[in-house]
């Protein structure tokens, strides 16, 4: 019997170490996993929109309806007075028609820009110069949508 007790006493430290390892290994780890939220930079968005508006004016003067249509999201719509919404491939042909009709000198004046990481709302004036005697100043509202990391026109409305 003494022999059994001696053998058990030799194993006692091993049991304690095993018990400690099991108890600490089974404890539930509590780590907070927080989603990475991209911080929105309105100044950066405004600079980008201003650059697109400048490109838009230049591409209109060049008559480049393909470049103009490329600024629109895949599910975009142009909303003009007294017409049905212009969507998809119709956007390209609509810009071609507008350029042929004399709308080749267009500038934008952004009045307000608000938004978030996913959408921006821009309001402003569009000045269209058909000739020296025919200059139109209209209001516009554009909803920009981030698509594949780039801002694209989602809704483009002129009044």
Mean pLDDT of 4-11: 53
pLDDT in the model for residue 131: 79
Q: How many domains does the chain divide into?
A: 1
Q: Is 22 inside any structural domain?
A: no
The span from the CA of 76 to the CA of 64, in Å, is 19
The span from the CA of 121 to the CA of 119, in Å, is 7
Q: Is 20 inside any structural domain?
A: no
DSSP annotation string for 109-131: EEEEEEE-SSEEEEEEEEEEEEE
Residues of the domain holding 69: 42-158
pLDDT band at residue 8 under the 50/70/90 scheme: very low
Would you say residue 22 has pLDDT above 70?
no
Q: Is 11 inside any structural domain?
A: no
The span from the CA of 31 to the CA of 42, in Å, is 32
Q: Is 77 inside any structural domain?
A: yes
Task: State the average pLDDT for the chain.
Answer: 85
CATH of the domain at 61: 3.10.450.50
Q: Is 139 inside any structural domain?
A: yes
Contact between 119 and 147 under an 8 Å Cβ cutoff? The reply is no
Q: Is 1 inside any structural domain?
A: no
Q: What percent of the chain has pLDDT over 70?
A: 76
Contact between 140 and 115 under an 8 Å Cβ cutoff? The reply is no
pLDDT in the model for residue 133: 83
pLDDT band at residue 102 under the 50/70/90 scheme: confident
Q: Is 84 inside any structural domain?
A: yes
pLDDT band at residue 15 under the 50/70/90 scheme: low
Would you say residue 128 has pLDDT above 50?
yes
Q: Is 8 inside any structural domain?
A: no
Would you say residue 35 has pLDDT above 80?
no
The span from the CA of 72 to the CA of 144, in Å, is 9
């Amino acid at each position: 019997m003494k022999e059994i007790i001696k053998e058990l006493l030799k194993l006692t430290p091993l049991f304690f170490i095993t018990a400690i390892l099991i108890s600490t290994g089974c404890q539930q780890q509590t780590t907070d996993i927080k989603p990475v939220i991209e911080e929105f930079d309105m100044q950066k968005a405004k600079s980008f929109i201003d650059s697109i508006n400048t490109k838009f004016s230049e591409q209109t003067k060049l008559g480049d309806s393909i470049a103009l249509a490329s600024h629109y999201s895949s599910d975009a719509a142009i909303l003009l007075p007294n017409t049905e919404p212009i969507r998809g491939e119709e956007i390209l042909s609509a810009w071609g028609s507008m350029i042929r009709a004399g709308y080749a000198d267009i500038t934008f004046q952004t009045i307000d820009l608000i938004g978030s990481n996913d959408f921006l709302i821009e309001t402003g004036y569009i000045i269209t110069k058909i000739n020296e005697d025919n200059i139109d100043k209209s209001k516009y509202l554009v909803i920009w949508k981030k698509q594949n990391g780039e801002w694209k026109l989602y809704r483009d409305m002129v009044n």
